[in-house]
């Protein structure tokens, strides 16, 4: 019985049955009504059975209807209070569970999704999409020059800028440290680069006032396209490699994973010319 009640509570929370206060009130009213009806019926039945059998010297009430009304007025409020308290406890549990779930999927500094939520979103996609990994350039210099509090303030401002420029067209996450992740709807490579360059340019032209110091920030990004079938870990690896190439080729730029081979071939060619 305990296991059944526990499973029932879990199912109700899962479907959001106790997400609002009115849900608790509806639960208490409905349950107390039917419980009161059952109490009245049971009371009447017990009197009839015990009275006819002469069990425990129970006698039929002189006015069954009056006894029914009294039973309803006694059982009703008690049932309502009990069910209301039960419903409130379930709602508090549901709210706590939702709050914990949000906290476990949210970066506490920026308010963006964390890595766990980011990976969950990607792994649930079964249609083509684009993923980008962004890394703030020379972030260690900011921490060393202005302090870690200034570095945290920069991370918050960068998160705001990403959300402002990308809007609802993208899912943005802080993956850890100065690294951010972006999921975009599927688009052609040139359009993807244009979108990410728009974000990069918007950030590069801004200065952040942190405790009286104006700090300029740029980022490098690696982009990869998923077809909805390839495992997300492979796509993230491709985006990471493109990010590394963006860093190695001068920073403050966006590189698509499709261009990695071209970059490598060009670098090999230049090295051959120098050797000659």
- Mean pLDDT of all residues in 56-66: 63
pLDDT at residue number 183:
93
- Mean pLDDT of all residues in 16-27: 74
Residues 130 and 63 in one domain: no
H runs (alpha helix) in 54-114: 64-104
The rounded distance, in Å, linking the Cα atoms of 107 and 64 is 64
Choose, from 157, 178, 179, 214, the residue flagged as catalytic.
178
Spatial neighbors of 40 by CB under 8 A, at least 6 apart, are 68, 71, 72, 75
- Mean pLDDT of all residues in 114-130: 88
State which residues form the domain around 42.
2-104
Q: What is the CA radius of gyration of the chain?
A: 32
pLDDT for 185-207, tens place per residue? 988 889 999 999 999 998 888 88
pLDDT for 228-249, tens place per residue? 777 788 888 999 999 999 999 8
Residues 130 and 245 in one domain: yes
Residues 69 and 6 in one domain: yes
Residues 71 and 172 in one domain: no
As a three-state string, the secondary structure of 151-171 is: HHHHHHHHHHHHHHHHHHHEE
pLDDT at residue number 223:
94
CB–CB of 242/255 below 8 Å? yes
178 is catalytic: yes
CATH number of the domain encompassing residue 206? 3.30.70.270
pLDDT for 74-112, tens place per residue? 777 888 888 778 777 777 666 666 555 666 788 989 999
For residue 100, give both structure tokens.
């914990």
End position of a domain, from candidates 74, 104, 134 = 104
Residues 165 and 226 in one domain: yes
End position of a domain, from candidates 75, 104, 133 = 104
Please tell me the pTM assigned to this model. Answer: 0.64
The per-residue DSSP string of 170-207 comes to EEEEEEETTEEEEEEE---HHHHHHHHHHHHHHHHT-E
pLDDT at residue number 268:
45
């Amino acid at each position: 019985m305990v296991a059944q009640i526990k499973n029932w509570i879990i199912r109700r929370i899962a479907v959001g049955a106790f997400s609002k206060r009115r849900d608790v009130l509806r639960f208490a009213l409905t349950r107390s009504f039917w419980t009161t009806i059952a109490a009245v019926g049971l009371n009447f039945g017990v009197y009839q059975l015990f009275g006819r059998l002469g069990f425990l010297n129970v006698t039929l009430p002189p006015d069954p209807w009056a006894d029914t009304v009294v039973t309803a007025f006694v059982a009703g409020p008690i049932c309502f209070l009990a069910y209301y308290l039960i419903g409130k406890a379930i709602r508090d549990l549901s709210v706590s569970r939702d709050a914990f779930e949000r906290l476990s999927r949210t970066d506490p500094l920026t308010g963006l999704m964390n890595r766990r939520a980011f990976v969950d979103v990607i792994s649930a996609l079964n249609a083509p999409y684009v993923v980008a990994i962004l890394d703030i350039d020379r972030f260690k210099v900011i921490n060393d020059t202005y302090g870690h509090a200034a570095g945290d303030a920069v991370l918050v401002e960068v998160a705001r800028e990403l959300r402002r420029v990308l809007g609802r067209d993208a899912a943005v996450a802080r993956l850890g440290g100065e690294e951010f992740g972006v999921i975009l709807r599927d688009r052609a490579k040139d359009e993807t680069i244009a979108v990410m360059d728009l974000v990069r340019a918007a950030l590069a032209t801004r200065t952040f006032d942190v405790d009286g110091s104006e700090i300029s920030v740029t980022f490098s990004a690696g982009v990869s396209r998923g077809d909805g079938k390839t495992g997300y870990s492979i796509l993230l690896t491709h985006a990471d490699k493109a990010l590394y190439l963006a860093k190695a080729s001068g920073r403050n730029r966006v590189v698509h994973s499709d261009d990695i081979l071209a970059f490598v071939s060009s670098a090999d060619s230049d090295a051959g010319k120098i050797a000659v």
